[in-house]
Amino acid sequence: MMALVADRQSMQEIVGQLATEGGRHELALEVAQTSRQRRKGLMERPSLPVNTGMLFTYDEQQPAQSSFWMYQTRFPIDIAFLDQRGEILSVETMPPCTRQREDCPRYSAGVPFWMALELNAGALDAMGVSVGDRLEVDL
């Protein structure tokens, strides 16, 4: 348990802005940049506060067939796949999966991507976010 807490505490925390046609929306983001942080993601957390999320970053472009799953995730999540500049390329909503590991579906990006943004389900719709909008962050 201590290793998980230490790993989460070592995540970089940044402020990002989603730029949409309707305006700008500020988000507090944890950055999952190591393979261990990305594997853990939002697993086992009871909830995610409003206007917060997790940004998964990669050192190289990920192929379109790369996937995310919701194993041991307790709440539904919106996921947006982004290019190197933060442009949203694809969006998906993923329900929680509390079943056995092998029974949890995987959600592929469908497009090559450099980053993935996870927020509470419905957050992207509530902010009017669509494909082509941009996440602005300083990493």
With contact defined as beta carbons under 8 Å apart, do 67 and 56 qualify? Answer: no
Q: How many helices (H) and strands (E) does the chain have?
A: 3, 9
| Domain assignment of residue 113, given as a range | 2-136
Confidence of residue 9 (pLDDT cuts 50, 70, 90): low
pTM: 0.90
**CATH code for the domain of 27:** 2.60.120.1140
Residue type, 135: L
The answer, yes or no, to whether residue 5 has pLDDT greater than 50, is no
Contact indicator for 96, 75 with CB cutoff of 8 Å: yes
pLDDT at 4: 41
- 102 phi, psi to nearest 5 deg: -70, -15
Q: How far apart are CA 77 and CA 72, in angstroms?
A: 12
The length of the chain is: 139
Write out the two tokens for 67.
């996937």
H/E element holding 119?
A: strand 113-120
How many domains are contained in the chain? 1
Residue range 64-121, pLDDT digits in tens: 999 998 998 999 999 999 999 999 999 999 999 988 888 899 999 999 999 999 999 9
